[in-house]
Amino acid sequence: MPSRKKSTMFACSFCSCVCSLVLVCVVLGTRRWVSSALRFTRTNSTVTVSLDYGLFQGTCEQLLEEGLLVPQQTFQVADSLSSSQTRGTNVAIIVVLVLSLLTSLLSSGLTCTNAVSNPYQTFLGPLGVYTWNSVCGILVLVAMILFPVNVEAHRLSEELAHGCATSLEKHIQSKHSYGYSYWLMLLILLLNVASAIIIYFYDHARYSKKKEQERPIENAPKDVILF
């Protein structure tokens, strides 16, 4: 059985990994990634298209210059994408987040195992926790970079606006505001860092104690050494 200190440290790390796992599921399932307001010209008028969307679904509404508001409608992101560039990037973000979900699951399993037992293999200990938390953090960071690139550089919102509204001509202006689903990835990143730091403190304390036990003669009295 593991010591009380080890069980406590790995249990804290386990809680952090589980929170990370849950948040990745929330990020994948919600559609509050970004809110976009885009203005287009239309024959003898202008129209403002408001979008709220995530990786899979979104909502769209139109406000005409005359003050007429078109009712909000729901759309599927994949069905509204016509460019291979935006579609490919969106799929890449989904794949990256699914992989981060798997690595969070592996990290949760390792920390739980170490909290209740002492596995023999080195990779099932702190080294495995460091590895999977690092991989998860890197994957989440990649997703955080790819999504704004898709919105800003690949004009994802503009393409979705054309998919949910008709007779749009020239694009005049656009404004983007990233929602809680996107910023939750920053919290996931921090949770992975926190989990690794907790295990590092435990591993460092164990290493220091082991070194002290390997050098008993340095702390022995001089008369005992002479004898």
The answer to whether 49 touches 65, Cβ cutoff 8 Å, is no
Going by their DSSP bridges, the two strands 171-178 and 34-42 should be labelled as antiparallel
Domain ranges of the chain: 4-32+82-168+179-202
- For residue 200, count CB atoms less than 10 angstroms from its CB and return exposed for 0-12, middle for 13-18, buried for 19 or more: middle
DSSP summary character for residue 67: S
The answer to whether 53 touches 34, Cβ cutoff 8 Å, is yes
What pLDDT does residue 58 have? 95
The pLDDT tens digits for 99-148 are 999 999 999 999 999 888 888 677 888 888 999 999 999 999 999 999 99
What pLDDT does residue 226 have? 45
Residue ranges of the chain whose pLDDT lies below 70: 1-2, 66-67, 120, 204-227
| Mean pLDDT over the full length of the chain | 87
**What's the one-letter identity of residue 57?**
Q
What is the rounded distance in angstroms from the CA atom of residue 17 to the CA atom of residue 100? 11
Structure tokens at 90: 């969106």
Q: Phi/psi at 30 (nearest 5 deg)?
A: -95, 165
What pLDDT does residue 7 have? 86
Q: Phi/psi at 96 (nearest 5 deg)?
A: -60, -40
What is the rounded distance in angstroms from the CA atom of residue 147 to the CA atom of residue 53? 12
What pLDDT does residue 14 have? 93
Q: Give kind and range of the element (H or E) at residue 171.
A: strand 171-178
What pLDDT does residue 207 have? 55
